[in-house]
A and B are shown apart, each in its own frame.
Chain A
Amino acid sequence: MSMAIYLLTFGLLIVGIYAVVAKKNVVKIIVGVLIIDYAVNLLLVLVGYRTGGQAPIQAADETAAQMATVAVDPLPQAMVLTSIVIGLALTALMVAMAIRLHEKYGTFDMDRIRQLRG
C-alpha cells in the first residue's frame, strides 16, 4: 500500500511532464507546470508522515518530549510551505506571459505562434 502511494505520486508527476512537453496550447502548458508543482509538494509531504501521528504543534498540556514521540516530521512541511507560495507567484508570472502572447499573436496555439514569429 505504501508503494502504491508513492508510485501514484510519481504518476502524477509524469502527467504533468506530458502536459508540458506534448501539448500545444499555452494554457495547457501552464496547467502542466502546476500539476508538476502539486506532485512534488505531495511527495515531500508524504515522506514525512508518521503512522498515527499528530501535527507538530504543541498543545497546552503536553511537554515537548511527549510531542516529539507522536508528531510527524516538521522539516518537509516547512519546505513545502514556502514552495506552495512560490508556485502562486510563478502562476502569476506565467499568466502575465500568456496574456502578453495572446495580445501579440491573437492565439494560444504554439504552432501558430512559431509560424507567425517570422
Chain B
Amino acid sequence: MELLIVTLIGLMLIAALAAVEARDLLSSVICLGAAGFSLSVIDLLVGAPDLALTQVVVEVVALVLLIRVVVTRRDTSSSAPRDALRTGAVLLAGGVLLVAAAFSVGVFAAGKAGVIPPFGQPLLAGKGPVAPGVSKDYLGKAADETGAANVVTAVLLDYRAYDTLGEATVIFASIIGTYAILRHVGRREAPADAPAGGAKGG
C-alpha cells in the first residue's frame, strides 16, 4: 500500500514538472489535470472518500475554466532564456525547505521519531511525541451527540461549524471578486471614442 502511494506521488511530481515546463499551454493544463486525478486516487487509498469525490469534480470544473483561458489565444509560451537568478533562488530556498522537512520527519534523528509521526501512525493513536488531540473524542462521540454516521460531516457542520461559515464567506468573496473583475463588458459597447476605461471619463 505504501509503495502504491509512493508511486502515485511520484506520478504527480512528474505530471507537475511536465505541466510547468511544457511549451504549449494546453498541454500544461492537461498535465495539471493528470496530477489532480492522481491526487484523487491517493485520497481514495488513504481512506478519505469525501475528498476523492470532491477532488474529482473540482478537477473537472477547474480544467474547464483553465481551458477557457488557454483557448483565448493558443500561443506557446515563449522560449525566453531561463531566468538564472530566480531559478537559483528558488532552488536554494527549496533545498533549505527540504532539509527542514527532513529534520521534522526524522531523517537525522537517528531512529527516533521526528516532529511529524511516521506515516501510518496518526497523532490520535497516542504513540507520537505529542499527546493525542480531540480526534479520538470526535470519533467516539459523533454518532451519539450529532447523529451523523459520517464523522467528517459531523466535524465540519457541528463541532467546527464556525470554520465552515468562514469558508462559505471566503468562497462568497472570491465569486464576488470574479463578478467585479468581469463586470465592465457593457461599457465597452460604446462606439470607439475613448481608450480602455475612458481617461476622460467616457
Contacts and interface: CB of A to CB of B under 8 A. Distances in A.
Contact of A10 (B78, B97, B160, B167): B97
Interface in B119-149: 119-125, 133-136, 138-144, 149
Interface residues of A, number: 84
Contacts of A31: 19-20, 28-29, 32, 66
Given A14-B94, A78-B152, A64 B9 contact: no
Given A32-B20, A99-B69, 14 more contacts: A2-B118, A5-B6, A8-B13, A11-B13, A12-B9, A19-B20, A64-B139, A68-B136, A74-B138, A81-B54, A85-B167, A93-B181, A98-B69, A107-B75
Given A54-B47, A78-B160, A109-B78, A46 B119 contact: yes
Determine which residue in B58, B98, B116, B151 has the highest number of CB atoms from chain A within 10 A of its CB, and name it.
B151
B68 interface: yes
Nearest to B45: A49
A98 B182 CA distance: 11
Given A31-B28, A45-B46, A99-B182, A17 B94 contact: yes
B163 A108 contact: no
Contacts of A22: 82-83, 86-87, 90
Given A56-B139, A99-B182, A3 B170 contact: no
Nearest to B44: A55
A65 B143 CA distance: 10
Interface of B: 1-3, 5-6, 9-10, 12-13, 16-17, 19-20, 25, 28-29, 32, 35-36, 39, 42-43, 46-51, 54-55, 58, 61-62, 65-66, 68-70, 72-73, 75, 77-78, 80, 82-83, 86-87, 89-91, 93-94, 97-98, 101-102, 105-107, 116-125, 133-136, 138-144, 149-152, 155-156, 160, 163-164, 167, 170-171, 174-175, 177-178, 181-182, 196
The main secondary structure of chain B at its interface with chain A is helix
